[in-house]
Amino acid sequence: MRSALFALILIVCGVPAVTAQTLQPILQTYAGEIAKPSRKSVGETIDAIAASGLPQVTVFLEQWSEKNIWQRNDGIFFVADAAGDSLTITDVDTEATTTAAKFDFKQLKPNGGVRRLIGTALVQFQLMDPDLSRRETAVASIARRPEAAQLAPLLASIDGEVDANLKARKNQLANLLSASFAKNTEDRIAAINSLSTDTSVEARAVLNQILTTTTGVALAAPEGNIAATLDPMLDAEQSYTALVDANLAAPKQTAGDIKKALEANIVNGRIAGFPLGQMDDPMVRQAAYTALADAGLVPVLITQEVRDAELSKHVFYQVYDEPNVEVTIAAETARKSADNRVATAQFADLTLDALSLASIFFLAAIGLAITFGVMGVINMAHGEFIMMGAYTGYVVQLFIPNYTVSIFVALTLAFAVTFIAGVVMERLVIRRLYHRPLETLLATFGISIALQQLAKNVFGTQARPLTSPDWLAGAWVVNDIIQISYIRIAIFILALLFLGLIIYILKRTRLGLEVRAVTQNPGMASSMGINPDRINMLTFGLGSGIAGIGGVAIGLYAKVTSEMGSDYIVQSFMTVVVGGVGNVWGTLAGAAMIGFGQKGIEWLNPSNTLAAQTYMILFVILFIQFRPKGIVALKGRAAGD
């Protein structure tokens, strides 16, 4: 409205800048205000510049806001860049560039308030600028500092917007601004109702701003949009302080106040008839003060009874800053709906996080479930097979820069490397320690330390990158609350693929049948022509190979260091024990229980992940006291052991 008014004034008065194609004459008309702008009076100047509609206006306002406008001694304005004692000056109309001495110019430095007004005027030009980046900048500026004056140009720019994403953003911002600044009550309520399904932080901030309240106290309930009537007895001391601050009650006397009042009323060694020698007694001091108050010599003593009586005489209330009752009712309804949606979205986001963590635990533990469950071997070096797989992926990427190809090569090669390492370990160490769990634990723990030191010697102690392909970059964003990285989704899918593959191997292949036979009855399996020694070797190699593949997947998500295996060995053993030793479905159930349990504890105490892991270990200890064989108990040799 103000811009249109100034455009009309300029036309009527015949200011040449309105019809001319040059901006400099308008600038000269308001040269004094441009050179020394005041927040209270610069609005007329900005409106006159904006009302010209010239294409140069956008650049001038941008440069003025960024303090890049310089005025020559003869009063002409230029866009300039300083370099030492010289300037590179650009004509605001012709864009002709030249150099000049710096001492012939003065830099214009508008303050923050003026720049804010410039930005508001600039938005209407930027919103419809042919350059997409300028339009995006304008929308971002509105989002940072929404104002009533921005609503009309924002609405006017929506229909002509060609970029679909930016158009959607403009529509969202228009709803937000309409909820706060629309002149028509029906339009405000319609915009507020649309925010009931919007879980974004911006939408909730708008609703909260509409529903802001001010606490007050009075002898009677005031007129206005009352949000709530408060019970002063819930916090009597604070309520009485509010009374005092409102000058509706006398302040409570402190012990020092009472002492000074008594000392000021000593007459012939007595205070209100009470001897000074009795003033050590608190009851006497209070009685003396009360007597003085009854005589009108001191203010009435504010006792608990007096305080409560004063509180009961007054009304404590909260009144909405928004005067329109219909608007606040709609905002309350919309906020409740939005809060419910936010709670649902938070639950969904927590569920996705828990599924992601469970899939990581499953990948880390499934190989251990095979070796520990089938063979009864406590392999403390299982985490180092995960580490070997991750470092294999890192080495592959050194030779294959295409990250998509390198990941698939790394998965295959990591399985081969860790499979061979597992077979070698079984042949050289494990086979000599069957049915001797303590010696197996100590031996594999020593191998774990040796492998960690070997990795440090080869790769150093610094974390190494295992880079994911571009199609795994970023995250799947449902809304402001629900989002999960594509890497975690890929790990979840990989865990499902391995679950299906392992079940197929164990249920549908000869190796799987022989493994199950050896697991349930090794003696009978041997009598049927199955070589238990060979099956144990292949089983240990298979479990180690799967750990290597898991290491590649985990390396895409976590840091690749020589100690990364130790980060997962505890969770892996917990997963296997809780789920049921040697059972694939049990491992899946154990991973789900630990993943969801840990995320649930983190939700209760989000600032301490280590505490969540500690509480989870305590829970597992309690769980196995009541169900020592795990969620899915295994039959056969492992069950007998």
- What is the average pLDDT across 306-314? 90
Encode pLDDT of 576-614 as tens digits.
888 876 677 888 888 888 889 888 888 887 666 677 778
Q: Which of 83-87, 328-332, 378-382 has the highest mean pLDDT?
A: 328-332
Encode pLDDT of 564-574 as tens digits.
888 788 888 88
Q: Are 370 and 600 in contact (CB under 8 A)?
A: no
Encode pLDDT of 335-357 as tens digits.
999 999 999 988 988 898 889 88
| Architecture in CATH of 343-640 | Orthogonal Bundle (1.10)
pLDDT of 381 > 70? The answer is: yes
Element (H, E) at 270: strand 270-271
Q: How does DSSP assign 507-560, residue by residue?
A: HHSHHHHHHHHHHH-HHHHHHTT--HHHHHHHHHHHHHHHHHHHHHHHHHHS-B
- Quick one: pLDDT band at residue 19, thresholds 50, 70, 90? very low
Average pLDDT, the chain: 84
Element (H, E) at 129: none
Sign of the Cα torsion 593, 594, 597, 599 reads negative
- Residue 494's pLDDT is 87
Answer whether 0.75 is exceeded by the pTM.
no
Residue 201's CB is within 10 A of a number of other CB atoms, namely 11
- Residue 638's pLDDT is 44
Q: How does DSSP assign 25-62, residue by residue?
A: HHHHHTHHHHHS--TTTHHHHHHHHHHT--THHHHHHH
Higher pLDDT, 607 or 58: 58
Enumerate the domain spans of the chain: 2-126, 213-251+303-320, 253-301, 343-640
| Long-range Cβ contact pairs of 411-414 (< 8 A, separation 24 or more) | 411/549, 411/552, 414/388, 414/389, 414/390, 414/545, 414/548, 414/549, 414/551, 414/552
Percentage of the chain exceeding pLDDT 70: 94
Beta strand 315-320 pairing with 213-218: antiparallel
- Quick one: pLDDT band at residue 10, thresholds 50, 70, 90? very low
Query: Residue holding tokens 């008014």?
Result: 5
- What is the average pLDDT across 221-249? 89
Encode pLDDT of 173-183 as tens digits.
999 999 999 98
3-state secondary structure 157-192: HHCCCCCHHHHHHHHHHHHHHHHHHCCCHHHHHHHH
- What is the average pLDDT across 15-41? 76
Encode pLDDT of 64-101 as tens digits.
888 899 999 889 999 999 888 888 999 988 889 999 88
Encode pLDDT of 468-504 as tens digits.
888 888 888 887 788 888 888 888 888 888 888 888 8
- Residue 608's pLDDT is 66
- Quick one: pLDDT band at residue 16, thresholds 50, 70, 90? very low
Encode pLDDT of 408-432 as tens digits.
999 999 999 999 999 999 899 888 8
Q: φ and ψ at 111, to 5 degrees?
A: -75, 180
- Residue 607's pLDDT is 62
What one-letter code names the amino acid at 517? A
- Residue 468's pLDDT is 85
- Three-state DSSP at 208 gives helix
pLDDT of 316 > 90? The answer is: yes
Query: Residue holding tokens 């009685």?
Result: 287
- What is the average pLDDT across 11-37? 69
Residues 6 or more apart whose Cβ sits within 8 Å of residue 580? 586, 587, 589, 590, 629, 630, 631, 632, 633, 634
On the 0-12 / 13-18 / 19+ scale of CB atoms within 10 A, 4 is exposed
Encode pLDDT of 100-141 as tens digits.
888 889 999 898 888 888 877 777 778 887 888 888 888 888
Pair of tokens at residue 47: 């409106």
